[in-house]
Amino acid sequence: MPDETDTDLTLPSVVAALSAGYGAEEVVLSIVFHPDTSRIGDWVVVPQQHRERHPPGRPWVLGRSRPVFSTRRGTRAGPLDDPHISRHALQVALAGRQLVMQRPAGASRCRVDGRELSAAVTLDEDRLRAGVPLLLGHAVVLLVRLTGQRPPATPGDGDLLLRGSSASMARVRRYAAQAAATDLDVLILGETGTGKELVAATIHAGSARAQGPLVTVNMAAIPPELAAAALFGSARGAFTGATRAGIGYFEQAQGGTLFLDEIGDTPPDIQPLLLRALQQREIQAVGGAVQRVDVRVISATDADLQADGSDFKAALRHRLAVCEIQLPPLRERPEDIGELLWHFLDEASRELDREAVLPDLHSPALSIAAWAELFHRAVTYHWPGNVRELLNVSRQVLLASDGRLVLPEHLAGVLGGAAQPSQRIAAAPVRQMRDITAQEFGQALQCNRYAIAGTARQLRVSRQAVYRRIEASNTYLLASQIAPDDLRRALAQHGGDSVAAAGQLRVSVAGLRARLRGADIEWH
């Protein structure tokens, strides 16, 4: 039998590398909201100006009847076709990784990044990579973004469990389909709330084991002293209180798939037993005999299993990751926000008997405009709680809405408001984050009470640039990065006052409150 302490680096691996810089890149215009909600998620690639069809001096036109958008599968979906958008709403010129947009005189209203567009605006690579929202007329919300080139459509692109028309999600669906076609064990990596359990379910449903059970286990919820019996079972009389034999999760998943969520919380003394089960497909019940199992194992974690000080064994990590899929956080695929939000609203409307609240093509113009504003705010928010937070927001919105759209006050504070018409985007030249000193950055954070949007406006950089600088910093943290114990300690020192605690922790009040809700910690 192989030495269980050795790190096996020879196993085959499929890695879904989903960063914004993956492979070739293109500027994509995605529909975040449209009065015809079936159009949400449609997209079109903005052509480079040097291409033959769009020679220099001949900008690409965005308007009511062109360009033609595509669906997730790459089929034609048609132009925007909204009567409130001019035929020539915007002139767009893309040269390299710099995009220039101009609103022709007399064209329909256009807001770019929350501000009314009155003159030409140039979006550089940093802003395009973060994603820039557009509001055309009063009813269509778009997102223009520099992103990885999407792979060709595959049968897996029809999978409705893994929603999203972004290149990132197209690659996730492709890797999930490739994994499903094998019987290899899979490790899914991603932040909390990104949908790792949905990827596991997709792989199981598309595999040869689909008719077998899918058994889901949260390793963080199993007491360490009970982990061996829970996973591998126990013989009658094996320990005090064991009056009959217990069937473990491995045996329950016989012939199917065992999904081990939060695998990073596996107790150290259980890890060698789990490694043996993976390598030999043999388990030994507590106090019982060794038996063979026919189980595929999919595991998931949001932890860095290779971090310094981690007690997770390298051999087990590599054995789990025969096939590895990494899920991007929602902030790295903002073009999917509209599609996900509409899906959650549609589902919740039926559950909560609020179907009449949702808009359709026959809704009044003011109602459509209100929904467009909600989606516009959603696509500008950072979503630290990822898809799970988006789901919660959709339910809260519908619970508060009875006959018409109502945005609860606390959500209005979190999602932010629209820019004032007097704020002209052409008046504020964009800066590069590398040109901003540590002192200026710290002063801007303090001046804006660590709010990302305010800091970005003061420094004239993108919000994503501020997030990246904080994440790379040894001085500052995002609220989502603060440990629950530190959150409780700060709140206790200030009698539960979230505003005072945010000041001590040097994070925004809105970010802290979102983090506290996600951690189920009381505050006021």
CATH of the domain at 406: 1.10.8
* Strand (E) or helix (H) holding 129: helix 125-130
> How far apart, in whole angstroms, are the C-alpha atoms of residue 384 and residue 477?
13
The greatest distance separating any two alpha carbons of the chain, rounded to the nearest whole angstrom, comes to 84
**End residue of a domain, out of 394, 415, 436:** 415
Length of the chain: 524
Write out the two tokens for 349: 């409307």
Separation of first and last alpha carbons in the chain: 57
In whole angstroms, what separates CA 56 from the centre of its chain?
Answer: 37
* 229, part of any domain: yes
How many domains does one find in the chain?
4
In this structure, the answer to whether residues 27 and 131 fall within a common structural domain is: yes
pLDDT digits (tens, 9 = 90+) for 212-243: 999 999 988 888 888 898 999 877 655 545 44
In this structure, the answer to whether residues 119 and 225 fall within a common structural domain is: no
In this structure, the answer to whether residues 101 and 32 fall within a common structural domain is: yes
In this structure, the answer to whether residues 264 and 220 fall within a common structural domain is: yes
In this structure, the answer to whether residues 93 and 66 fall within a common structural domain is: yes
How sure is the predictor about 5, in pLDDT bands with cuts at 50, 70 and 90? very low
In this structure, the answer to whether residues 267 and 345 fall within a common structural domain is: no
In this structure, the answer to whether residues 210 and 308 fall within a common structural domain is: yes
DSSP string over 50-64: TSTTS-TT--EEESS
Whether the CA torsion 457, 374, 32, 88 is positive or negative: it is: negative
The boundaries of the domain holding residue 271 are 185-321
CB 175 within 8 Å of CB 159: no
**End residue of a domain, out of 292, 321, 350:** 321
In this structure, the answer to whether residues 238 and 268 fall within a common structural domain is: yes
pLDDT of 53 higher than 60: no
DSSP string over 322-347: TEEEEPPPGGG-GGGHHHHHHHHHHH
Whether the CA torsion 262, 267, 272, 277 is positive or negative: it is: negative
In this structure, the answer to whether residues 399 and 511 fall within a common structural domain is: no
**End residue of a domain, out of 279, 296, 321:** 321
What is the predicted pLDDT for the residue at 520?
67
Q: Exposed, middle or buried by CB within 10 Å (0-12, 13-18, 19+), for 189?
A: buried
Compute how many other C-beta atoms are within 10 angstroms of the C-beta atom of residue 412: 13
Identity of residue 206: G
| Pairing, β 121-123 against β 282-284 | unpaired
* 11, part of any domain: no
Write out the two tokens for 17: 């590398």
* 159, part of any domain: no
* Strand (E) or helix (H) holding 464: helix 463-471
pTM confidence score: 0.72
Can you give the three-state secondary structure of 406-455, one letter per residue? CCCHHHHHHHCCCCCCCCCHHHCCCCCHHHCCHHHHHHHHHHCCCCHHHH
Mean pLDDT score across all residues of the chain: 84
Residue 67: asked if its preceding bond is cis (omega within 30°), the reply is: yes
CB 335 within 8 Å of CB 328: no
* 201, part of any domain: yes
In this structure, the answer to whether residues 127 and 51 fall within a common structural domain is: yes
* 376, part of any domain: yes
* φ, ψ of residue 270 in degrees (nearest 5): -90, -20
pLDDT of 23 higher than 70: no
In this structure, the answer to whether residues 31 and 127 fall within a common structural domain is: yes
Q: What percent of the chain has pLDDT over 70?
A: 87
Mean pLDDT score, 21-32: 81
In this structure, the answer to whether residues 102 and 213 fall within a common structural domain is: no
pLDDT digits (tens, 9 = 90+) for 124-174: 999 999 999 999 999 999 999 999 888 776 665 556 678 898 999 999 999
What is the predicted pLDDT for the residue at 430?
58
* 10, part of any domain: no
* Residue 144's CATH number: 2.60.200.20
Q: Is the backbone of residue 32 left (phi > 0), alpha (psi -120 to 50) or beta?
A: alpha
- In sequence order, the β-bridge partners of residue 69 are 78
* φ, ψ of residue 162 in degrees (nearest 5): -105, 85
Q: What strand order describes the sheet that includes 214-218? A: 15-16, 323-326, 186-189, 296-301, 257-261, 214-218
* 178, part of any domain: no
Token pair 């080139």 is at which residue? 149
pLDDT digits (tens, 9 = 90+) for 72-124: 777 889 999 999 999 999 999 998 889 999 999 889 999 998 889 988 899 99
* 366, part of any domain: yes
Which 3 state secondary structure label does DSSP give 151?
coil
pLDDT digits (tens, 9 = 90+) for 177-210: 999 999 999 999 999 899 999 999 999 999 999 9
* Residue 212's CATH number: 3.40.50.300
What is the predicted pLDDT for the residue at 519?
67
